[in-house]
Chain A
Amino acid sequence: MQIQPILAALRKYRLATLLIALEIALACAVLCNACFLIVSRLRQTQIDSGIDQRALAVIKLSGFDEAGSIDLNARMLDGLRRIPGMQSVGAINAVPFGQHAGTAGITLDQAGQHFGGVIDFYLGGPGTFEALGLRLVAGRAPQADDFRPLNHFEPDDAPVMVTRTLAEHLWPGADPLGKEFWSDHDHFRVVGVIASLARQDGGEGGPETIQWSVFVPAQPGMYLAGNYLLRADPAQLPRVLRDARAAVVKIAPDAVLDNQASQTLDELRLRYFRADRAMAGILLGVIVALLLVTALGIVGLASFWVTQRSKQIGIRRAIGATRGDILRYFQTENFLIVSFGIALGMLLAYGLNLALMRFYELPRLPLLYLPVGALTLWCLGQLAVLGPARRAAAVPPVVATRSV
């Protein structure tokens, strides 16, 4: 297939060629960036929570008299443990993807000069470390005497388990075991390192801070009450949670059960990422509409070209061109135009990405998206031109002998 005659023909329709190329270029720019946005959104929803999410649920109470917290804890723990199928119940201040509690800034020295970042504290009573299913990678798990009473919402002095990511952030390259940090006047010493534990409300400082959390063993009491972690077999969990909700109303009739927050962790996670999934869906819709419109445009213009040139096609057929030749002619022509558009589109895609980076704290567009976008558009172009090209190939040679 010679390209020279195709280019010569395109030169005659410079404006229309340019329009299709421009459309492809715009489509390429939006396509690459939208795909990138979708993937970044969906990747966020895939974060490792670090816990046995499928086996866990949470019950949240509020509106009870603080003075009666110890009594409430005892009644709740006892009552909930009686539910058939319940494997473990423990008091905890918060869970990943739930309402946040215990977010505070920490410092690496007592004087508060060396700021370490804002992190999430998970305060859990006996059994919660095991129930969460946290994976220990160094040091030890909490022991019985680690669970100390609280005088305010944090313990004054406590051994803690930090996540690997946080340890690396606070003490890069060093062994975190035995290291200390402070939050206001409270002192913490690292005795264990856990693989991961996602923050309650996502990282405030961006995606890299999502694992900045610590587990603090604490004695249930006035400052650790009303929020309970339930563990059961995943198959039985919905039933156990239903029973637990019913039991709570009997155990503590004065307190208010927070229906929104008392859920399985799977459900909480699903809700937490709902907006991200919706956005990804919208972006996907835009991409589909975009490709559809681009394809329609190509079909429209290509059909027009075929009608315009039916006489020339007839002549070519009459002097020996096969149907396949004509078909390939239009396919090659489309390939050339689309390639030109893609070349322009890559520049546009890059420019659009730069603009998005300025306004939305997005990372740079990985180069991989460009060939993928190009391939998509090439396929789209070939598919769209197939109909008109086949119609062109069907033009009989006899047309050449007619005056149009």
Chain B
Amino acid sequence: MFGYYLDLALRSLKRNRVLTALMVLTLALGIGASITTLTLLRLLSGDPLPQKSSRLFYAQVDPNSLSGYVAGQTKPDSLMGYVDAMNLLHAGRGTHRAALALTQAKIVPEHSTEHPYFSDGVITTTDFFPMFEVPFRYGNGWTAEDDTNRAALVVISDFLNDKLYGGANSVGKMLRINNHDFRIVGVLQHWAPQPRFYTQELGGRSYGDGEALFMPLSTARALNMDPQDIECYASVGNINKLEEAPCEWLGFWVQLDSAKAVADYREFLANYAKEQMALGRFKRSETALLDLMGWLRDREVVPDDVRLQTYLAFGFLLICVVNTVGLLLAKCLRRSREIGVRRALGATRRTVFAQFMVEASIVGLAGGLFGLLFAELGLWGVRHQPAEYASLARLDLTMFGSTFAVALAASLIAGLLPAWRACVLAPAPQLKAA
């Protein structure tokens, strides 16, 4: 029966090419816009480390004074001070833990003919690499001992390695950073999880390229390399002694592998805050432990504009669907006589309904196909936008499938009303009119 409906539908669509083309174009425009924005939204709100994000947690404490404090309502600060980060780091809980900040590293090329330049760097502790499962091409990270000894070691990214050493194994080579010699211990494979979860609040981008190099926090600070973002919560005596200043400039991550470990760590954090209050260092007892995706949601990492565009696109799709309903209705009313004949010859309402739904879904699939073209065009447009996520905008297999799902759903919804109108049509008057 389906084959017969298909045949009928194609005939009917062919009979009125202009109307059919209008419907397909309308649906395609709506679907193209929706899929473009949906792809972008999915990409921007994606999981940077799908296999591990549920086990990674971002810890926060609150060293602020009591001014403006409402117990139970005030959120703790997003960054952490050096003392607290080191206390939590050395408390040794969790499978892995790391404190980190971003910095600008001045790289001086070997050849004196080339000019020095700045690159983004991460200053962190040894567990950063195993915790975030950073893939190495050559060598590996540094050890906890190196952290303690302020060893002048550096891990560089694939693109810096390509730029400096043409992609060769550079482990063991010396690199001059901020007028000091660092030994390269590792070279990464391409690694830039999106969104850039660990750079949030540290003064980095939310999307885009990864950092060029990674070095021990202790070493970088010993050489007075400054973090990108510093938030101070009290008046500062000497800003150059960041370790002692009442300032926050580190992010603290911990890996917790079981629900019990998470509950334990929460309790540990709460106790830590109480202990610090007893010592007089803290005035507030608030702490927070958000998992990776929770942290990204909390930071509202997806730009408002992208959300707005998505709402807009779906509003547009709604208008397109209403439009298609109108056009399908016109088509179906025009065929009242044909329907009357079919009904008189014994077709049930159900079969007439099915026939019109098949016709609507053909329009939908065609709309989906052209919608895909429009979406590709839209994403091409996004890639040429001045946004840090621009280069990421590409259609993947899931969104490819979703295009047709959305198209089919939209056309079936649009087809409901006309098909219903067609099937409730009384056959006798139509036959009489003929």
Contact = CB atoms under 8 A, between A and B. Distances in A.
B330 A293 contact: no
B326 A23 contact: yes
B421 A286 contact: no
Interface stretch (A116-124, A191-199, A296-304, A366-374): A296-304
B330 A300 contact: yes
A296 B315 contact: no
Given A283-B312, A286-B316, A296 B25 contact: yes
B323 A282 contact: no
Interface string B299-317: 0000011011100110110
B234 to A, nearest CB: 10
Interface string B95-109: 000000000101000
B250 interface: no
A30 B312 contact: yes
A184 B234 CA distance: 9
B44 to A, nearest CB: 14
* Chain A CB within 10 A, most for which of B19, B235, B316: B316
A146 B28 CA distance: 66
A37 B385 CA distance: 18
Interface in B355-399: 385-387
Nearest to B320: A293
B293 interface: no
Given A274-B386, A301-B326, A360-B304, A256 B106 contact: yes
Contacts of B239: 152
From DSSP, what is the main secondary structure of chain A's interface residues? helix
Interface string A37-74: 10000000000000000000000001101000000000
B387 A275 contact: yes
A16 interface: yes
A275 B386 contact: yes
A404 to B, nearest CB: 9
B319 A290 contact: yes
Given A26-B319, A257-B115, 12 more contacts: A15-B421, A19-B325, A26-B315, A26-B318, A37-B308, A62-B104, A152-B239, A184-B235, A249-B115, A275-B305, A300-B326, A304-B334
Contacts of A359: 307
Contacts of A30: 312, 315-316, 319
A63 B19 CA distance: 66
A185 interface: yes
Interface string A142-175: 0000000000100000000000000000000000
Interface of A: 15-16, 19-20, 22-23, 26-27, 29-30, 34, 37, 62-63, 65, 152, 184-185, 249, 253-258, 271, 274-275, 278-279, 282-283, 286, 289-290, 292-294, 296-297, 299-301, 303-304, 307-308, 359-360
A16 B330 CA distance: 8
Contacts of B385: 275, 278
Contacts of B29: 289, 292-293
B261 interface: no
Q: Identify the interface centre among B235, B320, B325, B326: most chain A CB within 10 Å of its CB.
A: B326
B345 to A, nearest CB: 22
5 contacts: A20-B326, A62-B118, A63-B106, A286-B312, A297-B322
A22 B322 contact: yes
Interface residues of B, number: 47
B333 interface: yes
A296 B323 contact: yes
Contacts of B320: 293
B26 A293 contact: yes
B334 A308 contact: yes
B328 to A, nearest CB: 10
B86 interface: no
A361 to B, nearest CB: 9
B208 interface: no
Q: Across chains A and B, which 3 residue pairs bring their CB atoms closest together, nearest first?
A: A304-B330, A297-B323, A274-B386
Nearest to B308: A360
B33 interface: yes
Given A30-B312, A275-B305, A278-B386, A293 B325 contact: no
A287 B334 CA distance: 31
Nearest to A274: B386
B165 interface: no
A19 B331 CA distance: 14
